[in-house]
Amino acid sequence: MQTPLQNQHKQKRWLTACYLLSFIAMGLGEAILGPTLPTLAKQTASTIAQISFLFTAIGLGHMIGAFAGGRLYDHLHGHWVTIAMLLAIALVFFLIPAVSSLWLLAILILLLGIAQGTMDVGTNTMLIWVHDDASAPYLNALQFFFGLGAFLCPLLIARSMLLTNSIEPAFWIVALSMLPAALWLMFLRPPQKRDLPTAEIKTVAQPRLVLIIAIFLMLYIGTLVGFSGWLYTIITSEQIMPPEQAAYLVSAFWGALTVGRLLMIPISSRVKPLKLLYFDVLGCMLSITLFILFRNSIPMIWITTILMGLFIASVFPSTIAHANKYLSMSGKVTGLIFLGGNTGTMLIPWILGQIFASMGGRAVPIAILVDLLLTFAFLVILSTYSKKLPLRV
């Protein structure tokens, strides 16, 4: 007969495993837009500049989901909220291949972003509720499984195009991938919530920290989504590689990101999050600089893309782990932080699209480097401000 403590540990393991499974599906869904962008442009009779509005739509959806979703997880049954979001994501992916209107597609992408943003906030928050101060390795594991799904997605698209000359099977498979986690969640009890009054007091007491972290994540996520989202289009438009190889290059980026997050699972339990953030941001700056300098060399494009994925891997989980040291991470607090981060999803890839349309693909990596310089500046601000704050009790 198991003791209450053993039952508690078993419950934690099942919850963690289910959240990881759900983020494989999240990764598949998150990475599908970039490699299918040219096909969706043809499907809707749109230009690249026009289709880049989809990044704005999904980013706006993420913002709405982050802002409203955190409060849903504070006040409702968290698993039923997540199940609803997974089913909504599945429905959107079933419908996308049949849409020929850009505005209707943008509405679907907006709804997709709302569901993804809500689920992203909720799953990260519930994982912190499960593991509390020991959550850093699990946050890295969660993002590892997200990266695993994102790594598989371009491969799935490449095979779909090769075998059927269509993106429809890829979208249908991604839609079906949402269902196993949704079914599993029905049989699990959600974790105990953080004390909301305490969490709200912390938020009011440290609004500057929340703002600094939100801006930092906005710039970082702008780099991640901008680089991964536009890499395929840059490479194919300049005819550096054929489309199938370009899809594999995007997959290599997500694969490197996945490996990086796997490596960070044991490292994050021994190294402070702030030190990891400095290492990663500086590594990203070096990688994109080499990408710019050696963009005519196919081997260097592969090397720098893989390096970018490795260095960018643990920025997000390390930031959340650092925030957890100073803030009570309720759904509301996590949502506010993610709101800033998701602004990057909405704004920066759209800006890169306008730069691409007016100045060509060569200007996009330079713009990403500028974004990374701003990211580093806010990292310094975050580091300096954090030293003045007491640790969360």
Is the pLDDT assigned to residue 204 strictly greater than 50?
Answer: no
- DSSP letter at 166 equals S
Residue 135 forms part of a structural domain: yes
Residue 392 forms part of a structural domain: no
Is the pLDDT assigned to residue 148 strictly greater than 60?
Answer: yes
| Residue indicated by tokens 């592969």 | 302
197-224 as b/e, with b when 16 or more CB fall inside 10 Å? Answer: eebeebbeebeebbebbbbbbbbbbbbb
pTM (2 decimals)? 0.70
377 vs 211, more confident? 377
Instruction: Record the tokens describing residue 133, joined without a space.
Output: 């101060």
Mean pLDDT, rounded, for 78-82: 87
Is the pLDDT assigned to residue 201 strictly greater than 50?
Answer: no
d(CA 343, CA 304): 26
pLDDT digits (tens, 9 = 90+) for 37-53: 778 888 888 887 788 77
- CATH number of residue 301's parent domain: 1.20.1250.20
CB atoms within 10 A of CB 386: 17
Residue 393 forms part of a structural domain: no
Q: Write out the residue range of the structural domain in which residue 163 sits.
A: 4-386
d(CA 30, CA 87): 15
Lowest mean pLDDT among 138-142, 166-170, 278-282, 305-309: 138-142
Residue 190 forms part of a structural domain: yes
Residue 372 forms part of a structural domain: yes
pLDDT digits (tens, 9 = 90+) for 267-326: 877 888 888 899 999 999 999 999 999 888 889 999 999 999 999 888 888 888 888 777
d(CA 6, CA 233): 51
Phi, psi (rounded to 5 degrees) for 268: -65, -20
Residue 261 forms part of a structural domain: yes
| % of the chain surpassing 70 pLDDT | 91
Is residue 4 very low, low, confident or very high in pLDDT (cuts 50, 70, 90)?
low
The count of structural domains within the chain is 1
Closest by Cα among 165, 316, 310, 299 to 240: 299
| % of the chain surpassing 90 pLDDT | 16
Residue 23 forms part of a structural domain: yes
Residue 57 forms part of a structural domain: yes
